Amino acid sequence: MDQTKIGKFIARKRKEHGLTQMQLAEKLSITDRAVSKWETGESYPDITFLPALANMFETSVDLLIGMDTIRAEETRYRIHQTANQLQRLGDYQAAEKVYRDALLIYPNKPGMMLGLAGVLSLLGKYEEAIDWVERGLPLSSNEKQKATMRAVLCFLYLKSGLEKKADMLASKLPHKRECREAIQPLISQRIQGEAIDKEIRRILLGLDDTDTPEYSEEKHL
């Protein structure tokens, strides 16, 4: 459990209910200093206070301690695992449906957009794949995920005949993760067809033609 996030949640709910730290402390028979420590992430409420806090703020204990967020992450993990397994079996249409359904629930998750883009590229829907990655990039705050998205985008541009865009983006890739040194030569060589698809599978699923997928939470969640 993230004490800082829990503290910020308590502070926000306290203010929404028009309470000062002192007033909240009095309701719980503790000091306002204790409330202050919770809200700044210096300490965490004793478990015995959680039901009272949840009731006072008209929320659930799960939401209060961030379990709803944890469950959501677990759900997204299972979605990616299912889609990756379907891709390994060659059922790209089913994998596409998994991601499209997921995006109805998580419309602003760049990892879901990246996953769908990968499947679309394997189905030959390159323009739509590019659109999803370009939409997802500004939404991502994870540098490793961004590197993955940019690397995939390089190959999608190349596949779509957008060679100058591919060259420009490849030149700006970082020196680690999906690195410039590994990808820029492939873009410069103007690899084609199945060679591009293989690189996209390698980046997104961590596999070549004989491997099994290695799911990466950092790339997708």
What is the pTM assigned to this prediction?
0.59
Phi and psi angles of residue 29, each rounded to the nearest 5 degrees, phi first: 60, 45
Single-letter amino acid code for the residue at 103: L
Going from the N-terminus, what domains does the chain have, and what CATH number goes with each?
Answer: 3-65 (1.10.260.40), 69-220 (1.25.40.10)
- Across 150-155, average pLDDT: 86
pLDDT at 67: 65
Phi and psi angles of residue 215, each rounded to the nearest 5 degrees, phi first: -70, 135
pLDDT at 213: 38
User: What is the rounded distance in angstroms from the CA atom of residue 102 to the CA atom of residue 112?
Assistant: 7
- Across 212-218, average pLDDT: 42
pLDDT at 212: 37
Kindly provide the residue ranges of all beta strands, DSSP E only, lying in the chain, ordered along the sequence: none
User: What is the rounded distance in angstroms from the CA atom of residue 152 to the CA atom of residue 99?
Assistant: 17
Q: How many CB atoms neighbour CB 21 within 10 A?
A: 19
Query: Across all residues in the chain, what is the average pLDDT?
Result: 81
Q: Say yes or no to pLDDT of 210 above 70.
A: no
Q: Say yes or no to pLDDT of 68 above 70.
A: no
Q: Say yes or no to pLDDT of 149 above 60.
A: yes
Using pLDDT thresholds of 50, 70 and 90, give the confidence band for residue 180: low
| 183 in Cβ contact with 151 (< 8 Å) | yes
| 86 in Cβ contact with 92 (< 8 Å) | yes
Task: Please calculate the CA angle 37-41-45 and round it to the nearest 5 degrees.
Answer: 65
| CA atoms within 13 A of residue 68's CA, in its CB half-sphere | 9
pLDDT at 11: 92
pLDDT at 206: 60
Using pLDDT thresholds of 50, 70 and 90, give the confidence band for residue 208: very low
Query: Which residue is listed with tokens 């397994």?
Result: 85
Q: Say yes or no to pLDDT of 91 above 70.
A: yes
Q: Say yes or no to pLDDT of 217 above 60.
A: no
| CA atoms within 13 A of residue 199's CA, in its CB half-sphere | 25
Using pLDDT thresholds of 50, 70 and 90, give the confidence band for residue 175: low
pLDDT tens digit string along 94-145? 999 999 988 887 888 899 999 999 899 889 899 999 999 999 989 888 888 8
- Across 61-84, average pLDDT: 78
pLDDT tens digit string along 18-63? 999 999 999 999 999 999 999 998 988 888 888 889 888 888 777 7
